[in-house]
Amino acid sequence: MYKIVSIHNNAAFQVSAALLWGEEVYIGNSSNTLTCEMTVDGVVTDTGSIDLVESRALPQVIDCGTATVTSSGTHTIGVTVKVDESESSSDRDYQSFKAGTSFIPLIVVLVLAATTQMVELSLGSGIFLGCCMITGSITAGFRTMLDTYLLEALASEDHAFVMLFILFMSGLVGIIEKSGGLLGITEALRGFVKTPRSAQLAAFAAGCLIFFDDYSNCLIAGNSMRPLSDLAGVSREKLAFIVDATAAPIASISPVSAWVGFEIDLIQQELNRIYELYDEPTVPNSGFGVFLQTIPYRYYCIFMLFFMFSCILSGRDSGPMLIAERLNRIYGRTDGGEGRALAVDGGALVSHNEPAPDTPCRWWNMAFPIAMLLVYIFYLLVYTGKDPSNPNQTFLEIMEGSDSYSALLWGTMAGALTATAFYFLQDKYQGRIIWFNVKGYMNKARRTIRSFRRNNTDIEEETETHPKILIRYDEAMSSFMIGMEKIFQSLVTLILAWASGQIMQAVGLNRLFGAIITSPGLDYKMLPTISFCTSILIAFATGTSWGTMTIMFPLIVVPSYEASSGDLNIVYGVIAGILAGAVAGDHASPISDTTILGAMASECKLLNHVKTQAPYAFITAIWSILVGTIPSGKASLNNGVCILLGFLASVFSTTLPAAAPINKTGRFDVVTELYILITKNEYLLKLKEDTKKVSETGETLILPKEADDTTKITNDMTKHLVDDEEIASSDKTGTGDDAEVGVVPESAAARSASIMSGISEVGPEDPLPNETTVDADKDNLADSTLSA
């Protein structure tokens, strides 16, 4: 039973009155019977009564009966409560419309997102339209949108925890970036980059290491690995795919990331609703515990990582990605290929938080803070989950009982403070790190004292040749603020998404979904697949995975629990289907923030990135359904077998139907060969012949003049990033199916410029404060709540 603020035509709804008792003392000959009468548009439709003698305590809520309305428009619901001669009444207007009308706000969000590519406008318009529907007027809808839905999205304590956690995590990333730790990690990987395969593996490893935030992942891995992948002959399209397709899946399933707090909040709110509606729920009342249980069910995220890793190891590609890689290899391009772009929007991609030029970039300045963050969060989860009265708790029971909000909030701030203190222990001097430079601190103190004795002479020039602290306190604070500043737009989107999730419930879309899902004709075992596919469509249209999760959770989780009678396999599968489907749709969407960021950071044309990545996302989604959600939902296969089949399917998809960029026959993948057979495409036929020549001669072909000029420009730009004396000449070889380009790794001095750290993205919902409440103005009656 849902609390509602609007009515659907011809759908029964139930009215209950919340009672507030006054100080009045009843006379001895009282009937001790409380009666309740409900009216719809002034017509009595139902009554109810309670015998106060049989009740051990005065009732707080009384059921006033059920009713239906058949016409759209404004309807007045009235409640009158009476004990003997004492009477109290109240009424309130509700809007009624056809059940199908509740789709309108969602359709508006999807259409505007697809046409305008502005998520904020789309969500805001959906919220406004929904508010107009439940209030019956434009002016009241405008006021309700601001002072009820948006305000409550901000005022919720749970939402505040999520926002602070995201802000602190982004601030921590900012400090790590300023210390050179992010660049240090990528530089540590450079020694392993000698071929296109190793360059792609390095990018994949960087994406897995930066597991704590998808925005940071895209921006850091893309910017830092781009020079290496270019020199190794990897196309910008392939780099953008690795960067983008690693970011969300790894952040989504990681127990410590910017996503986890948001996902746990969504899960916990639905668990709270289940515990309110059912007496003995089968699902544990722990958002974090359920989060951990759903990880094995997130087939798309797991299969995408399998698919990418297998694709890199096999050296084979398919479709548009194969064409992009082949163009790079056979023409020996080291500029990123046809998909390269200085910036997707035509502007420069610049960070205002890069390390100082004299800062040595060391891997441990990222590894240590992240390791401590993990330690803090894990300890705090255990600390908040332990029950002193139960010394025999299992680890899962401790995790299920933990306060994940507090653990994440405390842990991220402790991690930021620890990182700052760690950097204070390091001094930089002539490209070196000096640890615990006590002597240097003492010398600096002496110089400072001498400067004051000399009329406060500026000592900056005098100390230039002396060791300096790795990050000053003011630099640490400013980088922390810059990190938080970058996710401001995402917080706005997050707040709008929270309010959007609430308005979808207010117009009754969750009731409509519930009616469909619980209908006898639908097999509840297909619910994980339905939730996965629906989430893909919404995420593709809106371009936001977090917004999709926020919309889907209140619409489908509780109805799925009811339809499956609390079957945990279905409940976990449905929750995982929403989370994984949102990521899958996000990967294929041209308006997705991570898609755009991945293209920007890799300096790849956006449309090139979308058309090369979308087929891979589609293939992985199909396998996720065929060997994941369907057999798992029907309980025909257990999770371990499903994951194993997904791995085998990923290996198959990246080997037999696919093709290497350079091979003896010049063949493409199966689908592209079929396309050539039907269309006789001259461009692809010529590319096929050129591939044969390169495979036979082992020498790359000469680019057309236009491409030569472009490559020269790009190479001239590259000279400003790297020292010519530190880059050896590249030997390009091309025999067999897996020919690769040999590259000597560039020096640490050739760090990529323009590193940006994360922004975040969208989130949960919160119960409405005044949902369908009929306010009483007498002592004997508090509110009446309409529910369905």
At 134 the pLDDT is 92
In a domain, 397, yes or no: no
pLDDT at 523 over 50: yes
At 347 the pLDDT is 44
Contact 493, 119 (CB under 8 A): yes
In a domain, 18, yes or no: yes
> What's the number of CA atoms in the CB half-sphere (13 Å) around residue 597?
32
At 343 the pLDDT is 42
pLDDT tens digits along 718-750:
333 333 333 333 333 343 444 343 333 333 333
pLDDT at 350 over 90: no
Averaged pLDDT for residues 185-210:
81
pLDDT tens digits along 381-405:
788 888 888 888 777 677 667 777 7
- Average pLDDT over the chain reads 78
pLDDT-derived band at 456, boundaries 50, 70, 90: low
Residues 6+ apart with CB under 8 A from 143: none
In a domain, 529, yes or no: no
Q: What is d(CA 738, CA 740) in angstroms, rounded to the nearest whole number?
A: 6
pLDDT tens digits along 235-264:
999 999 998 888 889 888 887 766 777 788
pLDDT-derived band at 17, boundaries 50, 70, 90: confident
In a domain, 27, yes or no: yes
pLDDT-derived band at 146, boundaries 50, 70, 90: very high
pLDDT tens digits along 574-596:
999 999 999 998 888 776 767 77
pLDDT-derived band at 462, boundaries 50, 70, 90: very low
Number of domains in the chain: 1
pLDDT at 560 over 60: yes
In a domain, 54, yes or no: yes
pLDDT at 424 over 70: yes
pLDDT-derived band at 465, boundaries 50, 70, 90: low
pLDDT tens digits along 274-290:
998 888 888 988 888 89
Dihedral Cα 421, 423, 429, 433, nearest 10 deg:
110
In a domain, 421, yes or no: no
Phi/psi zone of residue 32: left (φ > 0), alpha (ψ -120 to 50 degrees), beta? left
In a domain, 428, yes or no: no
- Identity of the amino acid at 40: V
pLDDT-derived band at 760, boundaries 50, 70, 90: very low
Q: Return the CATH number at 55.
A: 2.60.40.10
Residues 6+ apart with CB under 8 A from 24: 86, 779, 780
The boundaries of the domain holding residue 14 are 7-97
pTM higher than 0.85: no
86 backbone dihedrals φ, ψ, rounded to 5°: -85, 130
pLDDT-derived band at 785, boundaries 50, 70, 90: very low
User: 779: helix, coil or strand?
Assistant: coil
Comparing 196 with 497, the larger pLDDT belongs to: 196
pLDDT at 4 over 70: yes
pLDDT-derived band at 767, boundaries 50, 70, 90: very low
pLDDT-derived band at 703, boundaries 50, 70, 90: low
Percentage with pLDDT > 70 across the chain: 80
pLDDT tens digits along 663-687:
998 999 999 999 999 999 898 999 9
At 63 the pLDDT is 83
pLDDT-derived band at 521, boundaries 50, 70, 90: confident
Nearest in space to 490 (alpha carbons), one of 436, 544, 425: 544
Averaged pLDDT for residues 335-351:
59
pLDDT at 627 over 80: yes
Residues 6+ apart with CB under 8 A from 241: 308, 321, 609, 612, 613, 616
At 736 the pLDDT is 40
At 669 the pLDDT is 92
In a domain, 281, yes or no: no
At 783 the pLDDT is 40
Contact 52, 32 (CB under 8 A): yes
User: 681: helix, coil or strand?
Assistant: coil
At 728 the pLDDT is 33
Averaged pLDDT for residues 355-370:
84
Q: Mean pLDDT lowest for which of 149-163, 343-357, 505-519?
A: 343-357
pLDDT tens digits along 561-579:
988 888 999 999 999 999 9
